[in-house]
């Protein structure tokens, strides 16, 4: 009788299940992209947890039943009515490349465990760097997500001006980071992880378009210096998470050059605008940054998590995590070895996610990145025009990318009404959008991440919101 281990590694079983799974996923893709069914089948957290408790499911004769349940109980990013968080509906070809990466299970800390992955990281990071406008000295690495990417960049900024990595914090040494008050929370979190504390992140106010007020950089910098702190870097947003606003990167770059400060750009969402001749002006000045973070899993149709950290001077990436590890590397600190990924990243073992990006580029060319940016940014322009044309709604600002914040007008409490509208949409499940708070006011927020969304779905969303508002404001029977 075959033992369970032999059965678990059976190529024949895998082939049979794999064919069936691809059929299942293709059916799901066909149904979801056509707009059939709900975008989300909302269940309260307690109900979802109870369903998945071990032992609560019927015994499985094969894992396909489990996968089908996971599909049905998840949010459907490929639905044209998905307009929620900044997560892309991945291209189907990346499901195949992800399967290859999962089965090979390559680590990338050392070359022999990541021969392909480390090579592809070098090729793709330098390709992205050139797209952003950097020179031949630029290079980069991959990390698991923008939060880790931004932390890595800030650590590199610190390594460029101190020896904290080896000597620890010195008495009286106080660091600070200047950043927009609309920056992603992971910047704040990174500074706290680095030991800078709440006083180490200096949030610069924004203008009416939610862009950093670069005219305030000088007085804020002088105030920080007067308090006995040293500015590690200035962080520009390309773009902000809540509103999709692009900071004036050229102005920030000029300021950083004036005081010889590290300039970092959180381009997790919006840096890929560089692929589009129509929108690349939004990231003008990004090529002057010392480091840039780009999430492939946001605007480049790649599965999560997949983040590039690009350095204008590739040598900076080696200073951040320099240490001895004889069991991993024969060559020791000081050697710049692109092929040993563990020398440049916090992670030792990590997924070979770069294969997904490389597969997209080899299959479709960079034109697909350009088309995705232009289609989604263009959809936001269309949607904002629809909002402006409808007196029942108001825009929070004129959008610059594929993120639009708006709300339903009311003579009552607009915050409460729009929160209730969003909750009804969530529970109904046809559309998925989110909400955000801007200057103390609640707005509905759409991130148009699905290139299969059309003007029709956008108009239907506004009509559905009006229906919900009428229901909520109807006098009691």
Q: What is the pLDDT of residues 246-304, one digit of tens each?
A: 999 999 999 999 999 999 999 999 999 999 999 999 999 999 999 999 999 999 999 99
- Say which range, 36-40, 74-78, 222-226, 333-337, has the weakest mean pLDDT: 333-337
CATH 3.90.1150.10 domain span(s) along the chain: 376-473
Q: What length is written for the chain? A: 477
| C-alpha to C-alpha distance for 168 and 70, rounded to whole angstroms | 46
pLDDT over 70 at 322, yes or no? no
| pLDDT above 70: residue 53 | yes
Q: Which residues pair with 233 in a beta bridge?
A: 177, 262
CATH of 100-364, picked from 3.40.50.1100, 3.40.640.10, 3.40.50.880, 3.30.720.110, is: 3.40.640.10
Comparing 338 with 308, which gets the higher pLDDT?
308
Average pLDDT over residues 421-450: 97
What's the pLDDT score for residue 255?
98
- The Cβ of residue 152 has, within 10 Å, a number of other Cβ atoms equal to 26
Residue pLDDT, tens place only, 423-432 = 999 999 999 9
pLDDT bin (cut points 50, 70, 90) of residue 412 is very high
* Average of per-residue pLDDT across 348-362: 94
Share of the chain above pLDDT 70, in %: 95
- Reported as a pLDDT band with limits 50, 70 and 90, residue 326 is very low
> CATH number of the domain at 376-473, please?
3.90.1150.10
**Pairing label, strands 291-295, 262-266:** parallel
SS3 for 332-360 is: CCCCCCCCCHHHCCCCCCCCCCHHHHHHH
What is the Cα–Cα distance from 101 to 144, expressed in whole angstroms?
A: 15
Residue-level pLDDT at 110: 87
Residue 334 has pLDDT above 60, yes or no: no
Q: Which residue has the tokens 């929370």?
A: 185
How confident is the model over 456-476, as a mean pLDDT?
Answer: 96
- What is the pLDDT confidence band of residue 324, given thresholds at 50, 70 and 90? very low
What pLDDT sits at residue 329? 45
pLDDT of residue 59: 59
Do 189 and 150 touch, CB atoms closer than 8 A?
no
Q: Tell me, what DSSP letter sits at residue 290?
A: S
Cis before 108 (ω within 30): no
Q: Per-residue confidence at 323, pLDDT binned at 50, 70, 90?
A: very low
Q: Supply the pLDDT for residue 332.
A: 53
Residue 100 reports pLDDT greater than 90: yes
| pLDDT > 80? residue 60 | no
Mean pLDDT score, 315-320 = 81
pLDDT per residue over 118-144, tens digit each?
Answer: 999 999 999 999 999 999 999 999 999
Q: What is the pLDDT of residue 58?
A: 62
Pairing of strands 403-408, 393-395: antiparallel
**Residue 155 pLDDT greater than 90, yes or no:** yes
pLDDT for the residue 106: 92
Q: What's residue 153's pLDDT?
A: 96
Q: What is the mean pLDDT of residues 150-166?
A: 90
DSSP class of residue 47 equals: H
Alpha helices in 200-248 (DSSP H): 217-226
As beta bridge partners, residue 310 has 140, 292
Query: Where in the chain do CATH 3.40.640.10 domains reside?
Result: 100-364
The DSSP secondary-structure symbol of 60 reads P
Mean pLDDT value of segment 322-348: 66
């Amino acid at each position: 009788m075959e033992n369970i281990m032999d059965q678990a590694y059976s190529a024949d079983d895998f082939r049979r299940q794999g064919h069936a799974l691809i059929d299942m996923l293709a059916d799901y893709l066909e149904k979801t992209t056509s707009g059939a069914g709900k975008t989300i089948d909302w269940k309260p957290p307690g109900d979802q947890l109870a369903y998945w408790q071990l032992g609560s499911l019927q015994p499985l004769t094969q894992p396909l039943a489990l996968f089908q349940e996971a599909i049905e109980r998840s949010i459907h990013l490929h639905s044209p009515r998905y307009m929620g968080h900044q997560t892309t509906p991945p291209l189907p070809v990346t499901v195949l490349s992800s399967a290859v990466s999962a089965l090979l299970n390559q680590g990338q800390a050392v070359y022999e465990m990541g021969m392909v992955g480390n090579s592809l990281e070098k090729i793709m990071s330098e390709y992205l760097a050139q797209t952003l406008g950097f020179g031949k000295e630029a290079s980069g690495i991959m990390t698991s997500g923008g939060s880790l990417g931004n932390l890595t960049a800030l650590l590199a900024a610190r390594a460029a001006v101190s020896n904290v990595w080896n000597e620890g914090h010195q008495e009286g040494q106080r660091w600070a980071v200047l950043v927009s008050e609309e920056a992603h929370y992971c910047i704040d979190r990174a500074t706290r992880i680095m030991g800078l504390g709440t006083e180490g992140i200096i949030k610069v106010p924004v203008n009416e378009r939610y862009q950093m007020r670069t005219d305030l950089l000088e007085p804020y910098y002088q105030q920080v210096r007067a308090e006995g702190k040293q500015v590690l870097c200035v962080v520009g947003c390309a773009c902000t998470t809540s509103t999709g606003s692009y900071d004036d990167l050229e102005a920030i770059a000029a300021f950083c050059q004036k005081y010889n400060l590290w300039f970092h750009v959180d381009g997790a969402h919006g840096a890929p605008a560089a692929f589009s001749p129509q929108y690349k002006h939004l990231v003008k000045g990004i090529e002057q940054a010392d480091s840039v973070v780009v999430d492939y899993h946001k605007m480049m149709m790649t599965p999560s998590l997949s983040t590039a950290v690009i350095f204008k001077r590739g040598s900076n990436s080696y200073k951040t995590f320099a240490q001895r590890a004889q069991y991993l590397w024969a060559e020791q600190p000081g050697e710049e070895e692109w092929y040993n990924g563990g020398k440049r990243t916090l992670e030792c073992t990590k997924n070979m996610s770069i294969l997904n990006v490389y597969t997209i580029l080899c299959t479709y060319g960079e034109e697909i990145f350009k088309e995705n940016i232009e289609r989604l940014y263009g959809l936001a322009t269309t949607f904002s025009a629809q909002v402006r044309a409808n007196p029942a709604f108001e825009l929070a600002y004129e959008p610059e990318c594929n993120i639009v914040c708006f709300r339903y007008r009311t003579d009552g409490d607009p915050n409460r009404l729009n929160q209730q509208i969003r909750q009804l949409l969530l529970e109904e499940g046809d559309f998925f959008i989110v909400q955000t708070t801007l200057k103390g006011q609640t707005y509905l927020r759409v991130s148009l991440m699905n290139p299969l969304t059309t003007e029709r779905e956008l108009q239907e969303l506004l009509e559905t919101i009006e229906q919900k508002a009428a229901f909520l404001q109807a006098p009691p029977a």
